[in-house]
Each structure stands twice: as structure tokens, then as C-alpha cells.
A and B are shown apart, each in its own frame.
Chain A
Amino acid sequence: GQQLNQSPQSMFIQEGEDVSMNCTSSSIFNTWLWYKQDPGEGPVLLIALYKAGELTSNGRLTAQFGTTRKDSFLNISASIPSDVGIYFCAGLSAGNNRKLIWGLGTSLAVNP
């Protein structure tokens, strides 16, 4: 099925470092969502973006809806060990037949 290009695929960083990841698509989306999946759990919604150019924060997390509506970015500042997990982007396609398209995830490991 259709998927978003999410990068990087994995990251291994030191505690305290900032993290950036992004999703790109050839299609336009009306909504971008960022989820985090802890080991052994289901994904949990972190941030939702509904307008091109929108910048939204949730604690140390900041996400942006790209102005072209074909990409989105997630930044995590001052990472901590509990940030470990898989981060997924998801885009809601435009038009009448709206579908939620998922990225393959960015696996984040944080070295204390």
C-alpha cells in the first residue's frame, strides 16, 4: 500500500541531544500526525497538524506541517532515556476518499 517516506530509519543518540526526523510524500495531505510507540505498546498520538506551515509544540516536542503540504518534521529537544521508541508519521490524504497513510517509523535509541 501507499506509504510515506520517513527518515531516518533509526537513530542512536546521547542523552541531552536534539533529534530531528521527517516525513515526505509525493501527495498532498490535509493533516499530519505524529505518533510514538513504546516497546510492547500501541502507538500514542503526540502531535496533530491541520494547516500548512503550522508549528505545534508538546513539551520538548515540536512538529511542523510543511508549506508544500507534502512533508512534516518532528524535533525533540534535550532527549531523555524515556524518549526511546518508534516514532511514526501519518498523513491524512485529501479528497473524498480520505485515508490515513503511515510512515515506516523512526526507531530512536537514547544512550544515558
Chain B
Amino acid sequence: DSGVTQTPKHLITATGQRVTLRCSPRSGDLSVYWYQQSLDQGLQFLIQYYNGEERAKGNILERFSAQQFPDLHSELNLSSLELGDSALYFCASSVAGQDIGYGYTFGSGTRLTVV
């Protein structure tokens, strides 16, 4: 158990729908990062939040949004889902706000299947 909790573990939904993925960071970590992993694209950074504020943005589609709440848990909202959104979505957390690389702890991921 890495200490980063992601729910749900699996999600199957239809095209056009909206889903919310949840992440609770490791105790003491202030930063949350969201990554998308598909077979042919490796790990793609989506967005980072630090202590409730958006800190960095990667290749996140306009149909996707995220937020970090006062208790530091984060949610990734995916809307108007397309077949190509099927992927593993990982959350990672770290103590620091700047993307320093070390101290990244990943959750076990949410596998999203869009049918």
C-alpha cells in the first residue's frame, strides 16, 4: 500500500457520459498529480494541484477538469467521454509543490473503459 488511495479501481461507462475519479494523497503530501496511461502513449501528465491551487498543467483536454479540496483529496472529472479516453488514470502525490521528481508516490490507478 503506497498510501495514495484511488477510487474506483475500475469504471466502465458509455460514450458521452461523465465520470469522476477520486484520489486521496499520502498523509502529509500537499501536491497531487494526475496522469493518463494508455498503451501507446506511456504516462502522460495531465495536471498538478498544490494545497488546493492548480500548479501545473500538462496535456489535459478541455473536457477534463480537476480540483483539490481543503482536505487535500482531489477529483478528476472526465466529461463527454470518447472511446479514446479509455486508459489507466493514475494519481501521485508528493510533499513539495514544485515538480521535483523525487518523493512521487503513485496510487494503484483507475482503469476507465469507455464503450
Contact = CB atoms under 8 A, between A and B. Distances in A.
Interface of A: 1, 3, 31, 33, 40-45, 48, 88, 90, 92, 98-100, 102-105
Given A42-B109, A102-B44, 6 more contacts: A1-B45, A1-B58, A40-B108, A41-B109, A88-B43, A102-B45
B47 to A, nearest CB: 13
Interface in B55-74: 56, 58-59
Interface of B: 2, 4, 41-45, 56, 58-59, 90, 92, 98-102, 104, 106-109
Nearest to A42: B106
Interface majority SS on B: helix, strand, loop or mixed? Answer: loop
Contacts, number: 57
B99 A43 contact: no
A41 B102 contact: no
B101 A90 contact: yes
Contacts of A3: 42
A9 to B, nearest CB: 11
Given A1-B58, A1-B59, A103-B42, A42 B2 contact: yes
Contact of A104 (B42, B59, B104, B106): B42
A45 B99 contact: no
Contacts of B107: 42
B108 A42 contact: yes
A108 to B, nearest CB: 15
Contacts of A88: 42-43
Contacts of B4: 42
Contacts of A102: 42-45
